[in-house]
Homo-oligomer: A and B are copies of this chain.
Amino acid sequence: MRYYVVLRTLGSVSWLLAGFMFVPLLVALYFREPLYVFAVPLTIILIFAYLLTFFFKEKEKEWNNKEAIFIVASTWFVAAVFYAIPYMLEGVPLINALFESMSGVTATGATALTDIESHSKSLLFWRSMTQWLGGMGIIMLFIAILPKIGVAGRQMFRAEVPVLKEEKLHPRIRETAKNLWLIYFVLSIVEFIVLIMAGLSPYDAITHTFTSISCAGFSPYSFNIAAFNDPVVEMILLFFMFLGSVNFALHYKFLLTDRKNIFMDEEFKFYFSIIVSASLVLAYTLFRTDVYSLIDAFRYSSFHVVSILTTTGYATVDFNLWPDSSRFILFLLMFIGGCAGSTSGGVKAVRLLLLLKHANNILFKTIHPKAVTPVRLNGTMVPEGIINSIVSFMVVYIMIFFASSTLLSLLGMDFITSLSASIATLGNVGPGLGLVGPIEGYAAIPDLGKLILIANMWIGRLEVFTVIVLLLPAFWKN
A395 and B474 within 8 A (CB): no
Q: Is A26 an interface residue (CB 8 A)?
A: no
Question: Known contacts A328-B406, A368-B474, A395-B356; is A469 also within 8 Å of B363 by CB?
Answer: yes
Query: Is B150 a contact of A369 with CB atoms below 8 Å?
Result: yes
Contact of A465 among B285, B366, B405, B406 (CB under 8 A): B366
A324-B418 in contact (CB<8A)? yes
- Inter-chain CA distance A411–B324, complex, in Å, is 10
Q: Are B474 and A412 in contact (CB under 8 A)?
A: no
- Min CB distance, A322 to chain B, in Å? 11
Stretch in contact with the other chain, from A102-110, A235-243, A384-392: A384-392
Interface residues of A in 408-435 (CB under 8 A from B): 409-416, 418
CA of A395 to CA of B325, assembled, Å: 23
Q: How many copies does the complex hold?
A: 2
Cβ distance A423 to chain B, nearest Cβ, rounded Å: 12
Does A321 have its Cβ within 8 Å of any Cβ on chain B?
no
A382 at the interface (CB under 8 A from B): no
B residues within 8 A CB of A78?
none
Say whether B410 contacts A281, CB under 8 Å.
Answer: yes
B150 touching A391, Cβ below 8 Å = no
Given A391-B358, A395-B356, answer yes or no on A409-B328 (Cβ-Cβ < 8 Å). yes
Q: Is the CB of A389 within 8 A of B362?
A: yes
Q: Is the CB of A392 within 8 A of B151?
A: no
A364 at the interface (CB under 8 A from B): yes
A324 and B392 form a contact (CB under 8 A) = no
A-B contact pairs, 5 of them (CB 8 A): A65-B366, A152-B366, A328-B418, A329-B406, A398-B398
With A150-B369, A398-B398, A416-B416 already in contact, 6 other A-B pairs whose C-beta atoms are closer than 8 Å: A150-B366, A325-B409, A328-B418, A359-B395, A363-B392, A363-B472
